[in-house]
Amino acid sequence: MAAAVAAAGRSEWTRIVATLARDLGDLDLAEDATQDAIAEALTAWARTGIPDRPGAWLTTVARRRAIDRLRRNAMRSDREEVVARLEAREASEVPTTQDDQLALILTCCHPALAPEARIALTLRSVAGLSTPEIARAFLVPEATMAQRLVRAKRKIRDAGIGFRVPRAAEMADRLESVCAVVYLVFNEGYSASSGDQLLRTDLCDEAIRLGQLLEQLLPGEAEVVGLTALMQLTHSRRATRLDDRGELVLLDQQDRSRWDHDLIAAAVARLDGTPPDDTIGPYRAQAEIARCHAVAASPAETDWTAIVERYRALLGAVDSPVVALNAAVAKSMVEGPGAGLAAIDALAATGDLDEYHLLHSARADLLRRLDRPVEAAAAYRRALALVGTSPERRFLERRLAEVAGTVTPIGPSIAEPLHFGGVPVDGSPTS
């Protein structure tokens, strides 16, 4: 029974919290009342069996518990009015609309909230993760995370951030913030090499689930489809990106039979199902690049010409030197290492990426392929001086030893850790 309640609570959480939050104008109360209903289901359902419509049962009970809690709260001057609204809603049996859930997500991701507060709120209020779970996933003390959530909810209430779906003119800006929050959740789960590994993979699944929810709420939105596909395509490689010893495995060295081909198929299907907008957005463009890698049966069969073209589209959507760097590496795959090096040197001349280790490791790789080992070694040393995480560091050390001629080559590389589908627009490491 506990499992049935947990499953119902899990699948209904967003819908119930959303409908209550909109009537109550209070996230805390909405969450507490939903929690009450789930707890009550444990004993009630053990007695009576699982109701025909578990979601409707939970919603009704949650609404009643919200009314109880409101009546006990003498501090709220508008409580009679809100109770009346809730009772009217129950009597009319108006089903929750998609708009309630959309309003909830947009509120949690409101640009007036600090970015880390948006992430925490989205995981708590929309995804239904507990505060301790979120704290563990982000490696912060539980008290810190609880405080972050309290402050965010206080700002929603005191600054008058309403639970509403914005007008069409505002929507683009607001949707961008939502997509960014979901993608940050995903990257937090994907790129970190420390912490509770299991929970971090959960964050990736959670982010993909949020992407799918957004797809339902905003059908036909090419950027939302692109975001979800991008996360699925990146996540499909989770089993192969590190080897048994925790070393980074480059895309062209990964065992493609161990990629999650169901996830790849799901991503490709959603991309094919929704055509991109006339002006392609950053998530869609990245997803299209990731798709090229994902559908190639072997590294040699990768359609680099298509990838170069899609990088051009991505550069049109995001003016980022990191993307320009990735585009230069892709170019080297089509036109050869000389052309790639020229593009990278032009980029290096701007100085924007001077402190970015991937610029130097990409230069190093091209110099190595051009059989210029002395310059390659210098570039690897520069990259090593800047690199942070240890798997990437060990990879660069092996490469440096190789060009310095002290060990046997570790195999051909056509792809330095740069353009692995999930393009790090924000510069986060990918593989």
159 binds another protein, rule: CB under 8 A: yes
* Stretch in the footprint of another protein (CB under 8 A) among 12-20, 119-127, 153-161, 261-269: 153-161
170 binds another protein, rule: CB under 8 A: yes
Residue 171 or 199 having the CB closest to another protein: 171
74 binds another protein, rule: CB under 8 A: no
Of positions 166, 276, 321, 373, contacts another protein by CB under 8 A: 166
Question: What's the min distance (Å) between Cβ of 9 and another protein?
Answer: 30
Contacts of 423 (CB under 8 A, 6+ apart): 286, 289, 290, 314, 322, 323, 326, 430
Question: What's the min distance (Å) between Cβ of 344 and another protein?
Answer: 36
Query: Residue 243's CB: how many other CB atoms inside 10 A?
Result: 13
- Burial of 401-411, coded b for 16+ CB within 10 Å and e otherwise, reads ebbeeeeeeee
* Stretch in the footprint of another protein (CB under 8 A) among 119-127, 138-146, 154-162, 229-237: 154-162
Q: What's the CA gap between 76 and 324, in Å, rounded?
A: 54
5 binds another protein, rule: CB under 8 A: no
User: Two tokens at 63?
Assistant: 């609404």
Q: What's the CA gap between 123 and 117, in Å, rounded?
A: 10
Of positions 52, 160, 198, 297, contacts another protein by CB under 8 A: 160
- What is the DSSP secondary-structure string of 220-277? T-HHHHHHHHHHHHHHTTTTTSB-TTS-B--GGGS-GGGS-HHHHHHHHHHHHHSPPP
Residues 89-128 touching another protein, rule: CB under 8 A, are 110, 112
154 binds another protein, rule: CB under 8 A: no
Q: What's the CA gap between 215 and 384, in Å, rounded?
A: 41
Are the CB atoms for 303 and 281 separated by under 8 Å? no
Q: What's the CA gap between 148 and 114, in Å, rounded?
A: 10
81 binds another protein, rule: CB under 8 A: no
168 binds another protein, rule: CB under 8 A: no
321 binds another protein, rule: CB under 8 A: no
Size of the site for another protein (CB under 8 A): 12
Binding site for another protein (CB under 8 A): 77-78, 110, 112, 158-162, 164, 166, 170
